[in-house]
Amino acid sequence: MPIWNGIEFETIEQGKEWWANTNNSDMSRIMGLSRKSRITWLGVATEIVTPGSSVFDPGCGTGLMIEALPEDVTYYGIDLNPGYIEQAQKSYGSRTNTTFEVKDLYEVLDSDMVFDYTVITSLFGVFPEEETYNLISKFWEKSRLGMSITTLNKDKYHPRNAQYHNLTSHDPRQLEEFLRGLSGVKTSKVQTAFPPERHMIKRALAAYVWRDNEN
C-alpha cells in the first residue's frame, strides 16, 4: 500500500482526503521538483495533445499544466483542494476556454462529460495501485482521441525508507499490456527513457494511448 510521511493509504478515499487538505509545501515535497522542472515534465505528459482540442486534467493542483499546452486548447481542471483551485484561478482563470473547479474526479467519471484528451499527471502516488487501473479505464471512457499518464516506474522507483515514503508505482510492461487491452485502442506507447533535458523525474515513466476513430 502507498505510504507518505508514515501515513498508510489503504483506500482511495484516504488518498483523496489527504490531497483535499494538503498545501503547496506538501505538493513540492511529494513532487520533488522546482516549478520550472515541473513544467518541463508536464511537457512530456501533454505532448499527445493537439491544437484546438479539449483537455481534462484530473487532480489539476494549481493549474500548472496550462504552461505546457497549446494556446488554443479548451481546458478543464478539477481538484479536491480548494486552496489549489483558488491559486489556479488567480494564475490562469483569465485564460480563454479555461475552467477550474473544486470537484471529486468520480463526479466527472460518472457524468456524461467527454474530452478529446485526458492527461493524468502524477495523480496516483497515494492511491492503491489496483484502484489506479480501474481509474485508468474510466478516464479512457472520457477520452475521444487519446490519454496520457505519468507515474512512477516500478523498475526504477525504490524508496530509501519504505516505512515513511513508498508511493504507488507501475510496472511499465503491465501498464502497456493493460492499455492495449482497453476498448477502442488504436495504438499505445510506454516511454521509460527520455533526453536528459526532459526527463526531470528520473524514476518515472510516461504512457500514451490513442483511440481508433476510423470506425
Average pLDDT score, the chain: 92
Percentage of residues in the chain having pLDDT higher than 90: 76
Pick the CATH number of 3-202 from 2.40.30.10, 3.40.50.150, 3.30.390.10, 3.20.20.60: 3.40.50.150
Whether 24 shows a pLDDT value over 90: the answer reads: no
DSSP for residue 47: G
Residue 84: C-alpha distances to residues 21, 66, 80 (Å): 10, 14, 8
Place of cell 511499465: 172
Map out the domains of the chain as residue ranges. 3-202
What's the pLDDT tens digit per position in 144-176? 999 999 999 999 998 888 888 899 999 999 999
Distance CA 58, CA 183 (A): 21
Is 130 within 8 Å of 170 (Cβ atoms)?
Answer: no
**pLDDT value at position 144?**
97
Return the top range by mean pLDDT from 17-21, 75-79, 191-195: 75-79
What's the pLDDT tens digit per position in 170-189? 999 999 999 999 999 999 99
DSSP string, 161-213: -TTTEE--EE-HHHHHHHHHTSTTEEEEEEE----TTT--STTEEEEEEEE--
Is 23 within 8 Å of 79 (Cβ atoms)?
Answer: no
Is 133 within 8 Å of 7 (Cβ atoms)?
Answer: no
**pLDDT value at position 197?**
67
Distance CA 169, CA 156 (A): 9
What's the pLDDT tens digit per position in 196-208? 766 567 789 999 9
Residues 63, 64, 69, 70: is their CA dihedral positive or negative?
positive
Residues 190, 195, 198, 199: is their CA dihedral positive or negative?
positive
**pLDDT value at position 63?**
96
For 83, the enclosing helix (H) or strand (E) is: helix 82-92
Residue 104: alpha-carbon gap to chain centroid: 14
Segment 10-34 shows an average pLDDT of 84
Distance CA 87, CA 190 (A): 32
